[in-house]
Structure 1
């Protein structure tokens, strides 16, 4: 990595993400209930609004998909990423390509996502474009991850 500081091994982008996470935690410190959810939702929308190009398209579509397919998930940010959680645990998140200057955005799922499928299964997906097929696949993944396995076959 070109921007790695050899004293701690983290890139400038990684250190910025850690600072962002610390700020996220500070911003909700002492805030509870509906006020906390509202603040986290606003932060998620602001993170999406700050994106450009394909990152913005993907983040906006993911936001709509989560609202449609898993409305019980709560929007928030996680290391500055648009994220969606259940009981405070992030289930699905989007790492925009611009975050770490990568060639594609990454749709990620935490260990709390219900994607288990035998002894091995994917927990992240590269998104290099958005089209109807991608939309359908992301919808199915979000439904499944959020615990709506019975709706997958519908």
Structure 2
């Protein structure tokens, strides 16, 4: 008998959530999931506020997440240690991005955002 770990069950819940979405969102959100886990294989997927979220462990705070509500979006949670953008954006803190589809450039940017969230979290705990 194979016993599924909590991480396995959480992953399956995320995959089931994505599979239950209507097209074209399902394909975009599946690709978003694939990009996130490829960029940061150490992150553990789980459902967070009804949508896929990714954290360093099953019990740690979610760092990045995506949603499929009125629009599809990628977000970084406050647990990733957000900082003002500076420059012309002044004190605005970039924490969410809307997306309609993914292309190579967007996938690369998503991967950068995910890795940046992990680095910010790690450096804030050092």
Which residue does 1:65 correspond to in 2? Answer: 35
Q: Residue 125 in 1 paired to residue 97 in 2?
A: yes
Deviation at 1:114, TM superposition (A): 4.8
What CA distance in whole angstroms lies between the structure 2 residues aligned with 1:112 and 1:138?
18
Shift of the 92–48 alpha-carbon distance from structure 1 to 2, 3 Å rule, reads: same
RMSD across aligned positions (CA): 2.1
State the match for 2:72 in structure 1.
Answer: 105
Mapped partners of 2:46, 2:32: distance in 1: 13
Number of matched pairs: 111
How big is the shift at 1:121?
A: 2.0
Q: In the alignment, is residue 139 of structure 1 matched against residue 106 of structure 2?
A: no
CA contact 2:54–2:63 (8 Å) conserved in 1: yes
Counterpart of 1:82 in structure 2 is: 52
Find the counterpart in structure 2 of residue 4 from structure 1: none
Query: Which structure has more RCO (C-alpha within 8 Å, separation ≥ 6)?
Result: 2
TM-fit CA distance, 1:113: 1.9
TM superposition score normalised by structure 2: 0.76
Q: C-alpha displacement at 1:63, in angstroms?
A: 1.4
Q: Which runs of 5+ in 2 are unaligned?
A: 86-90, 121-126
TM-score (norm 1): 0.64
Match of 1:39 among 9, 17, 22: 9
